[in-house]
Amino acid sequence: MTPPQASLRHVIPLVVGLLTLGGPATAQEEVRVRVEENFRSVPNGPVLGRLDPGTTLTVLGRQGNWTEVELEAWIWTRSLQIVNREGMDLVVAESEGENLRDGPSGAVLGRLGEGTLLLEQERVPGWIRARRQGWIWGPSLVQTAAPQAPDEPEVAAPSSGGSGAGGRAPSSTPPTGLVRSGARGAAVLGGPDGDTLATTVPGSELEVLERQGGWARVRLEGWTWLPVEAEEASSAATPGRGEQGALEPLDLTERPDEYRGRVVTWRVQFISLEEAERVRTDFFEGEPFLLTRFGGAQGPFVYVAVSPERLPSVQGLTPLEYLTVTGRVRTGASALTGTPIVDLMSLSRESGDP
């Protein structure tokens, strides 16, 4: 029997609080959304949003054909406001709602409507991981292969030194050193919001080099078949302009799809730090980017997209100063202006005149 709504307002925050404590977690039933479906506050009640096929949810209970679930996802911080209502501390403030993602700038899982209340779990620059309980039509769900706890890397026992305890490190001190990818493997990206470079098999051993919020920079050692002759032939097949065949913006604009995902290093002149309007469909709305010119004042424009965690490193740039930017090509010609867009990986500042 469903408790009265007034009781739910007190019980739900207590249950969520207990789930986030550092004690041992029990396996919970997980399900996936089979077809696009509404996410509701109560069975057949007001719609909070919609969920896309493949979204994973934790089952909390069932009532006839309705399933009570817990949703956890990442949301762009600027679309949220802080509140203190019904045991929740965030609310979706955008009039058109906001996307749910599986990580900062990750794949879209669905969309919540304006006014949906949430409970914050974790915060990194520009993004918040939040939870919400709700109801979904049971026939639209399918069970995962087996109930399992949320993905966390399994920490390899230290080979020498340390406490000798092995096992999983406390959540307050995320592990570094050797870890293993979870039961579904791990996608290795070019950056926290970059393209997928590779996918590991389950249990692959990775070395954690650095952590930024929930993201970890890892090293994976292995071998791949790459004969020298094939590598030389590939390099010679698509030469670019400039010194030693280096790619330049004009190469990208002439063949915008051919170089997508390539890494380039360019000397550019910084003009301004901008935020993308909705009309710039190659960006997400509000995404920060650098407006620059390749090579100097007379060169072609280049847009350098900046992920939230790299934003502090560019906020002190001075107009007309020169930078050396390394980035991954998002598109060789943006839909609105035909300008190349690269995702920032690293930059260094120069001093003096060109």
pLDDT at residue number 17? 42
For residue 179, give the CATH number of its domain: 2.30.30
CB atoms within 10 A of CB 321: 14
Least confident of 81-90, 132-141, 228-237, 270-279: 228-237
Whether 19 and 135 map to the same domain: the answer is yes
Whether 23 and 54 map to the same domain: the answer is yes
Whether 213 and 249 map to the same domain: the answer is no
Whether 128 and 19 map to the same domain: the answer is yes
> For residue 214, which of 185, 194, 192 has the smallest C-alpha distance?
192
Range of the domain at 193: 175-224
Whether 201 and 296 map to the same domain: the answer is no
Q: Concatenate the DSSP letters of all residues of 17-38 into one string.
A: HHHTSSSPPPP--EEEESS-EE
Q: Which residues of 197-233 are buried (b: 16+ CB within 10 A; e: fewer)?
A: eeebeeebebebeeeebebbebeeeeeeeeeeeeeee
> For residue 287, which of 341, 238, 233, 323 has the smallest C-alpha distance?
341
Q: Which two tokens stand for residue 308?
A: 């939230």
Is residue 232 situated within a structural domain? no
Report the alpha-carbon distance of residue 86 to residue 73 in Å, rounded. 20
* Between 158 and 19, the higher pLDDT residue: 19
Among the candidates 119, 143, 167, a domain finishes at 143
Is residue 187 situated within a structural domain? yes
pLDDT at residue number 1? 47
Instruction: Evaluate if residue 267 carries a pLDDT over 90.
Output: yes
Domain count along the chain: 3
Report the alpha-carbon distance of residue 120 to residue 83 in Å, rounded. 11
Instruction: Evaluate if residue 51 carries a pLDDT over 80.
Output: yes
Is residue 86 situated within a structural domain? yes
Least confident of 159-168, 178-187, 198-207, 312-321: 159-168
Per-residue confidence at 173, pLDDT binned at 50, 70, 90? very low
Whether 208 and 268 map to the same domain: the answer is no
Is residue 33 situated within a structural domain? yes
- Rounded average pLDDT over 12-22: 41
* Between 223 and 277, the higher pLDDT residue: 277
pLDDT at residue number 257? 77
* Between 266 and 174, the higher pLDDT residue: 266
Q: Using one digit for the tens of pLDDT, what is the confidence trace for 303-323?
A: 999 988 788 889 889 999 999
Is residue 108 situated within a structural domain? yes
Report the alpha-carbon distance of residue 75 to residue 80 in Å, rounded. 8
Whether 76 and 42 map to the same domain: the answer is yes
Is residue 170 situated within a structural domain? no
pLDDT at residue number 131? 94
Instruction: Evaluate if residue 152 carries a pLDDT over 80.
Output: no
Whether 256 and 302 map to the same domain: the answer is yes
For residue 327, give the CATH number of its domain: 2.40.50.140
Q: Any residues with CB less than 8 A from the CB of 192 and at least 6 apart, and which?
A: 103, 104, 105, 212, 215, 307, 309
Mean pLDDT of all residues belonging to the chain: 76
Whether 184 and 249 map to the same domain: the answer is no
- Rounded average pLDDT over 278-300: 88
Whether 111 and 29 map to the same domain: the answer is yes
| 3-class SS of residue 341 | strand
Whether 80 and 36 map to the same domain: the answer is yes
Whether 214 and 326 map to the same domain: the answer is no
Is residue 152 situated within a structural domain? no
Q: Which two tokens stand for residue 302?
A: 């280049």
Query: How much is the pTM?
Result: 0.38
Q: Report the number of secondary-structure helices (H) and strands (E) in the chain.
A: 3, 23
Is residue 323 situated within a structural domain? yes
pLDDT at residue number 184? 65
